[in-house]
């Protein structure tokens, strides 16, 4: 059995500061939590930036550059920059962080979907910032746009242009077929990382049948050319990634995907979630991949070739 690569998605653009006091916001908080997650066993750190003052997701490359070097000097974990950004960002904005940092790995969302989390604003709460409640509620009417042209441009600019590889985020079976189109077109070369996403409202549910369907479809389309990983949102996070790991997948955890450690228990840090999944995997007899092993598996360009 090969070793399991743990990714940690440290802050994201779904959750807002009022939902958990433990969500990292400032560059120092993002850096500290990312480094601690790596020390806990995460080989890959998936990163978004937030406005240091009000916690709003930001595409500003200067904010990325306030935490990327701080992380890089303290850990050799692979740094993976989002190109999904946050709701209402243009494609150009979404690309700014990765174009500036030239990372080894960047996320790439493989289709347009309804990506909704308006349920997070369902119950009354005291909001720390005015932007949070409308931001969350607006997702009921939002579309997360990732057209074929958008995807092609990201592959050309970041992949062919800057040597990045991708975390191909697939929320539905059709997204695997979209990826197959780009493999056939020669824009995606093996080995490529398929991050299958479960439990987002607008995408596949976190049922075992869906996990199996994703796996079987990816096997059929890509054979041995792909490296499989999965994440699941909210309460599905730990059970579903454990199921996936038992089926041979790599796993992603982190506060971007769930604010919780267990039922009704907020995670106090990203590292807590990494330690939990690590404990489960090791109890089941699996070994955890180091950053060097993740780089070798994914054939990444290496830390010497990034711009931070």
> Residue 12 or residue 61: which is nearer to ligand KMH going by CB?
12
84 binds ligand KMH (CB under 6 A): yes
Candidate segments 37-45, 70-78, 80-88, 243-251, binder of ligand KMH by CB under 6 A: 80-88
The rounded Cα 95 to chain-centroid distance in angstroms is 15
The only residue of 197, 232, 274, 281 in contact with ligand KMH, by rule CB under 6 A: 197
Instruction: In whole angstroms, give the CA distance from residue 277 to residue 279.
Output: 5
Residue 14 interacts with ligand KMH (CB under 6 A)? yes
Say how far apart CA 213 and CA 110 lie, in whole Å.
17
For residue 78, what are the CA distances in angstroms to 5, 34, 61, 156, 198? 11, 11, 18, 21, 23
Contact call for residue 255 and ligand KMH (CB under 6 A)? no
* CA distances (Å), origin 151, targets 4, 155, 194, 303: 28, 6, 15, 24
* Nearest distance, CB of residue 80 and Zn ion, angstroms: 9
The stretch among 79-87, 121-129, 154-162, 219-227 that binds ligand KMH (CB under 6 A) is: 79-87
103-162 residues in contact with ligand KMH (CB under 6 A) are 107, 109
200 sits near ligand KMH (criterion: CB under 6 A): yes
Q: Are 258 and 225 in contact (CB under 8 A)?
A: no
Kindly report the length of the chain. 308
Nearest to 276 by CA among 8, 1, 2, 3: 8
- By beta-carbon proximity to ligand KMH, the closer residue of 32 and 169 is 169
Give contact residues for ligand KMH (rule: CB under 6 A).
9, 12, 14, 82-84, 107, 109, 169, 197, 200, 256
The residue ranges that bind Zn ion (CB under 5 A) are 12, 82
């Amino acid at each position: 059995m090969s070793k399991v690569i743990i990714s940690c998605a440290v802050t994201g653009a779904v959750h807002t500061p009022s939902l958990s006091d433990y969500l990292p916001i400032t560059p120092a908080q993002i850096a500290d939590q990312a480094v601690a997650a790596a020390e806990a066993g995460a080989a890959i750190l998936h990163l978004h930036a937030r406005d240091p003052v009000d916690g709003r997701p930001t595409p500003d490359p200067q904010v990325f550059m306030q935490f990327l070097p701080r992380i890089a000097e303290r850990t050799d974990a692979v740094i993976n920059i989002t190109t999904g950004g946050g709701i209402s960002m243009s494609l150009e904005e979404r690309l700014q962080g990765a174009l500036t940092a030239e990372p080894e790995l960047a996320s790439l969302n493989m289709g347009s979907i309804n990506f909704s989390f308006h349920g997070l604003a369902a119950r009354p709460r005291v909001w720390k910032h005015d932007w949070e409640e409308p931001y969350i509620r607006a997702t009921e009417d939002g579309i997360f746009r990732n057209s074929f042209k958008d995807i092609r441009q990201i592959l050309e600019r970041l992949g062919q242009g800057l040597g990045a590889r991708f975390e191909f985020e697939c929320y539905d079976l059709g997204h695997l077929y979209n990826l197959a189109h780009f493999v056939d077109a020669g824009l995606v070369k093996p080995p490529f990382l398929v991050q299958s996403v479960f439990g987002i409202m607008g995408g596949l549910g976190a049922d075992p049948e869906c996990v199996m369907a994703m796996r079987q479809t990816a096997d059929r389309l890509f054979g041995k050319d792909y490296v499989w990983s999965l994440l699941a949102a909210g309460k599905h996070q730990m059970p579903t990634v454990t199921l996936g790991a038992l089926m041979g997948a790599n796993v992603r955890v982190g506060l971007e995907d769930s604010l919780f450690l267990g039922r009704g228990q907020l995670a106090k840090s990203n590292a807590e979630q990494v330690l939990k999944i690590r404990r489960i995997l090791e109890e089941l007899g699996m070994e955890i991949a180091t950053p060097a092993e993740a780089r070798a598996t994914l054939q990444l360009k290496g830390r010497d070739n990034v711009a931070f």
